Amino acid sequence: MSEKKPRIRVRGLTKIFGDEQHVALPLLQAGKNRDEVQKATGAVIGLQDVTFDVDEGEILVVMGLSGSGKSTCLRCINRLIEPTAGSVHIDDTDVTALGERDLMELRRTRFGMVFQQFALFPHRTIQRNVEYGLEVQGVPPAARRDKAMAAIETVGLKGWDQHFPSQLSGGMQQRAGLARALALDPDVLLMDEAFSALDPLIRRDMQQELVALQKRLKKTIVFVSHDLDEAIALGGRIVLMKDGRVVQQGTAADFLADPADEYVRRFVEHIDVLGVVTAGDAMRPPVAVRPWQSSADEALAILTQSGEPVVTVVCEMGRFQGTVDADTLRRAGATELRLLLSDRDACVPRSATLNEAVARLASGRGEIAVTGPDGELFGVIANADLIAALARRRVETAH
Amino acid sequence: MEFDIPHIPLAEWCDIALDWATEHFSGVTRAMSAVVGTAIETTTDFLVGLPPWLVIIACGLLVWRLTTWRIALGTVLGFAFLWNLELWRATLQSLVLVLVSTAFALAIGIPIGIAAALSKRFWRVVGPGLDMMQTMPSFVYLIPAIPFFGLGAVSACFATIVFAMPPTIRLTALGIMQTPPELVEAADAFGSSRWQKLFKIQLPLAIPTIMAGVNQTIMLALSMVVIAAMIGAGGLGGEVWRAIQRLEAGQGFQAGIAIVVLAVILDRITQHIARHMRRDRQQG
């Protein structure tokens, strides 16, 4: 996708819990499955051969149900859990090969972590909580106070810095948790079910704010979640895990369009299709297109032949200009199309979700254009196309 | 049925060990005894030399600052009662012994507790030791104390330290080990060293539990100081001891009630401080 080198590379990560891991690992590598190994050795397989990349500046959601190994996977990245085999690289540093001291240094400078149950220190004020990472780095008090205050302001907790965690609501506590991670200005944020303990409404706000924050601060975020809607709201790639293995990675739309197996299919079954499928997925090539200097008569002929509700008008550069419907064309005779244009905004970008397309279609004349970044015409979606796209997903997910 | 099973000479072994220790260390311990003994005596004499009302008011003010006016008032009334019973000198002797023993017990016990919390192996050694220290009849500690420290306050102090220390060790270790795992994980995730984790997170969070241990240690110290009267520690225990020897029930109860009053005062003060710290932790 991007030419940049990935910020984090996870390769063949395997975690076996229990004392028998050195017996269990060869069995696993010899191709025995999780249950067989567990029966033979008593060791529990937490992760098995997990491989993925995280690009710089992206939000990667590691998703799965409880027990799928997603949290274990996250903790292996900064080695809060020691992986049994495999490697984790952040840029050119092999995290899995670091000694204790170097690992400590790496955690202090490169990683910020946010926890499901917030894990704020109850005996410290919000300010002192947010300062914590800087404090262990040995940053002098004045400097760390400034940075902490800046982070507190970033997450919208200004004025609460002298309060204790127990005096804050859940949502505010997690803002403080986020501020504590941001204060270090780390490259990577590790977020473990960070919003799962919050009320649905607050959760949605926090998701939106995180996306906005990430656009501004360009952090690389690995976000663990069990909630597909959350993964979609965060809008990035998803690594779907089951029983300690990666089942599929890609965007939610990829999962819908081409599920790797029955499990993925069932996982995305109840997904809100309108929020995931893009206009680019649902569009078809335009049939009734005319440049804007052609006459209405000419356009009417094409329109009648095509059976489209409107003719789509483009300029010399191929950019979308607007639409003209059949009635107008009939009345206009030889007039140039450019003088007849209406519905100049009957278009959506290719990356827009069907939700936006539906809204446009509802206020237009039965067809909208799908455009690229410079307004160039890529395709069209008519009411029937939308219904067909939805029906296609339903059919796919029903089988 | 008669079997000629040789008995295990446990008592002899203990004697041999003690004799050996006495021979090699009693020089040092006697010297220590002289220093500590002088310190205890000087402090007691100084306090006894002051007018009782002055000491009582000073104690009242101190307690008021540390706790509430109610507890301060209780302290003043309690001490006035003990003065009125003409047990003032004995009270001060006991109080000084309790405080000195507790100070030593904390100075030794808290670091041991921390070490026990940090090292599972050390905890496995210390745990049974603590059980033994607590189940051993407290009188037994008095016997070896004498050859090391001689009759009197220092021996009492030594026996009291051994007897009163376990709760502090135990609760310090417990408090640290009970730090919520997610907080330990958070501290680790931000790259804390072992000591940073200990001093910035684990110890501050363990303080309420440690204070509960301190409270118990003070209570045990008081009970031991009373028993230590048998080896000449004096104080309120000495009054009880004398009453026993003379079969003076009234005198005995009077001294006994005085001990209860002192115990209640010490307990209320330390409990209040412990509770206050727990509230602090939540709200500041």
Contacts of B180 in chain A (CB under 8 A): 119
The pLDDT tens digits of the residues spanning A256-269 come to: 878 888 888 888 87
> What is the CATH classification number for the domain harbouring B216?
1.10.3720.10
* Closest-CA distance of chain B to residue A119, Å: 5
> Residue A396: pLDDT above 60?
no
Per-residue pLDDT at B261:
93
d(CA B201, CA A125): 13
**Average pLDDT of the segment spanning A376-392:** 82
Please indicate, yes or no, if residue B3 is contained in any of the structural domains: no
Contacts of B201 in chain A (CB under 8 A): 121
Contacts of B204 in chain A (CB under 8 A): 123
The DSSP code sequence of A132-193 is HHHHHHT--HHHHHHHHHHHHHHTT-TT-TTS-GGGS-HHHHHHHHHHHHHTT--SEEEEES
> Residue B140: pLDDT above 60?
yes
A90 with A141: CB under 8 angstroms? no
User: Which residues does B contribute to its contact with A (CB < 8 Å)?
Assistant: 180, 182-183, 185-193, 196, 200-201, 204-205, 280-284
> Residue A397: pLDDT above 70?
no
Q: Are the beta carbons of B188 and A108 separated by less than 8 Å?
A: no
pTM of the model: 0.77
> Residue A317: pLDDT above 90?
no
Six-digit token pair at A159? 């004025």
- Tally of domains within chain B: 1
Residue with tokens 């009373």: B226
Task: Select from B191, B201, B282 the Cβ nearest to the Cβ of A121.
Answer: B201
Per-residue pLDDT at B19:
86
Six-digit token pair at B3? 């079997």
Six-digit token pair at A139? 């940053």
A242 with A65: CB under 8 angstroms? yes
Residue with tokens 């919520």: B180
Question: Residue A3 — pLDDT band, cuts 50, 70, 90?
Answer: low
Give chain A's domains with CATH numbers: 56-84+98-276 (3.40.50.300), 280-391 (3.10.580.10)
Please indicate, yes or no, if residue B131 is contained in any of the structural domains: yes
Question: Residue B70 — pLDDT band, cuts 50, 70, 90?
Answer: very high
Please indicate, yes or no, if residue B28 is contained in any of the structural domains: yes
Please indicate, yes or no, if residue B58 is contained in any of the structural domains: no
Six-digit token pair at B65? 């600052």
The pLDDT tens digits of the residues spanning A226-264 come to: 988 888 888 789 999 998 899 999 988 888 878 888 888
> Residue B283: pLDDT above 60?
no
The pLDDT tens digits of the residues spanning A80-110 come to: 999 999 999 999 889 999 998 999 999 999 9
Please indicate, yes or no, if residue B148 is contained in any of the structural domains: yes
Strands A377-382 vs A367-371: parallel, antiparallel or unpaired? antiparallel
Please indicate, yes or no, if residue B226 is contained in any of the structural domains: yes
- Identify the domain containing residue B114 by its residue range: 10-49+85-283
Per-residue pLDDT at A2:
46
**What is the rounded average pLDDT for all residues in chain A?**
86
Please indicate, yes or no, if residue B150 is contained in any of the structural domains: yes
Per-residue pLDDT at B71:
92
Please indicate, yes or no, if residue B64 is contained in any of the structural domains: no
